[in-house]
Amino acid sequence: MLDVHNLSAAYGQSEVLHNVDFSVAPGEIVAVVGRNGMGKSTLMKSLIGIIPPRSGEVKVDGTDVSTLASHARVARGLAYVPQGRQIFGTMTVRENIETGLVVTGKTLIPHEIFVLFPILKEFEKRRGGNLSGGQQQQLAIARALASDPKILLLDEPTEGIQPSIIKDIARVLRQIRDMTNMCIVVCEQVLSFVLDVADRILVMENGRIVHSAMREGVDEAAIARFLAV
């Protein structure tokens, strides 16, 4: 479903992502872990097209999207939940979700979104900026789901969110996967969340993927060492 081949990305002259290779199968949840500054967010941003890649390919269903603008990638089936949520604060909850709907040409928000996030239905007329952090995270995921993606990218969805809601988010992500057979790529630093949600774990160091392990039989201590500061 998602094939990343030899992907490199740079800020100006300094290359921070070096020849990254990985694939994600439909219905698979892959977690990318690593310390701060190792290139996780850069990887996410170059997958969605906020940072143009220096070289390499990002294939969705076999077609390369690496030269397209973000919105065109969304039309091809990628969806992005950014770090810090970045919902549109002055717009209502409903309007926030509708921005994701634009690319599909539909006018009605799919019923399933409100089934996954009942709180958004309840608060649909409130301004996004007035929700709590956890609710904003749900809103950001709902906005991404509204574009009917095949691949969902999440950048540190647990950042600044209380532990009980982190558990909810893990549950919802698995639920989305079970419902739609979507592939999900999530960047994380919180190991418990990663172990809770992922089928496969990739470890990033200095802009490269240095370790890959299936969830079953993963050596938690080894992963934890990569995360230790």
Partner 1 sequence: MFMGYSLGEIGSIFAMQAFAGLILFSVFVLMALGLAIIFGQMGVINMAHGEFMILGAYMTFLTSHLFQTYAPQAFAGYFFVAMLVAFVASGAIGLAVEWLLIKRLYKRPLDTLLATWGLSLIMQQAFRSIFGAREVGVQLPDWMMGSLQVTDTIEVQINGLFVMTLTLMITAVVALLLFRSRWGLQVRAVVANRVMADAAGIDTRRIDRLTFGLGCGIAGIAGSAFTMIGSTSPTAGQAYIVDTFLVVVFGGAQSLLGTIASAFTISQSQSTLEFFLTGSMAKVTTLLIVIGLLMLRPQGLFVLKVRK
Residues near partner 1, by CB under 8 A: 48-50, 69-72, 74-75, 79-80, 82, 86, 88-91, 95, 98-100, 102-104, 107, 127-131, 143-144, 147
Report the alpha-carbon distance of residue 167 to residue 25 in Å, rounded: 24
Residue 37's φ and ψ, nearest 5 degrees, are: 80, 15
CB of 82 to partner 1, least distance (A): 6
Residue of 10, 217, 110, 52 lying closest to 120 (CA atoms): 110
Q: Is the separation of the CB atoms in 93 and 168 below 8 Å?
A: no
Report the alpha-carbon distance of residue 105 to residue 175 in Å, rounded: 25
CB of 165 to partner 1, least distance (A): 17
Residue number with CB closer to partner 1 (77 or 170): 77
CB of 196 to partner 1, least distance (A): 26
Residue number with CB closer to partner 1 (19 or 83): 83
Residue number with CB closer to partner 1 (37 or 160): 160
* Tokens coding 29: 């949840």
Residue number with CB closer to partner 1 (77 or 207): 77
CB of 226 to partner 1, least distance (A): 28
End-to-end CA distance of the chain: 34
Report the alpha-carbon distance of residue 143 to residue 28 in Å, rounded: 21
CB of 195 to partner 1, least distance (A): 28
Residue number with CB closer to partner 1 (24 or 68): 68
